[in-house]
A and B are shown apart, each in its own frame.
Chain A
C-alpha cells in the first residue's frame, strides 16, 4: 500500500492540525487510485465529538453524507480521512482500530506542543489490523514547518 500526497494537500492537513491544537482535527481525503493512492484534495470538517476533543474525534453522519456526495459530483474518490494526535505518536490507537472501516486510508498527524512532528498513513488489512502505508513524497515536510 502506497500513498502520495500533493504538497498542497499535505500542507493543508498540517496547517489544520496545528490550528486546532490542542484539540484533534479531522477531515476527508479525495483523489484517485492507480498503482498508488494519490491524495489531491483535503477538506477539513468539524470535530463533532461531544466532550473532550483533545483525545477524540468524530465526523457527523451529515458531514459524511456530504463528503460522499461531493466525491460523486466532482468526479473524484473519497479515499479516507485524516486526524491529528495532539502530543501523542502518529500511530493508530486501539480506539482508532475499533472504529476503522475497510478501504479507507487513515492519515494521522502527530502534533507536539503545537508543531507537526510526524505524519503517517494506515489502512486495514485482510486480518482487520492496521498496516502502515508508505508515503511516497514530501518526506522532508517536517523541516518546512
Chain B
C-alpha cells in the first residue's frame, strides 16, 4: 500500500523509477514486496539472513522507523517510505 522512494544509487535496479508502489501492511512487508517485483535490489536492502542491511536507514515520512515500531511500523495507503543509504567515510 505504501510508496517507496528509491535512492538514486539503487534506481538502476528499478528501471530508473524513483518511486515504487508496494503491497504490504507494514514497512517490512513493503520492502519484501519491492524485492519481489525488483529482485536485483534485494541484496542492497537485505543481508543473507533476511535482515535489513546495517548501512540502510528507513524513514516513514519524516520519521526514522527506529523511533516508531521499526520494520513492523504499520503503513497506510498514502504512506511514503524512504530508503536511505548511509553516506559516510573518512581518511583512515
Contacts and interface: CB of A to CB of B under 8 A. Distances in A.
Contacts of B49: none
For chain B, give the interface size range: 20 to 34
B12 interface: yes
Contacts of A24: 90-91
Interface residues of A, number: 34
B17 to A, nearest CB: 12
A65 B59 contact: yes
A59 to B, nearest CB: 4
Interface string B65-92: 0000000000000000010111111111
A102 interface: yes
B10 interface: yes
Contacts of A81: 87
Interface string A54-90: 0111110110110010011000011101010110100
A96 B86 CA distance: 11
A58 to B, nearest CB: 4
B92 A95 contact: yes
A100 B9 CA distance: 10
B39 interface: no
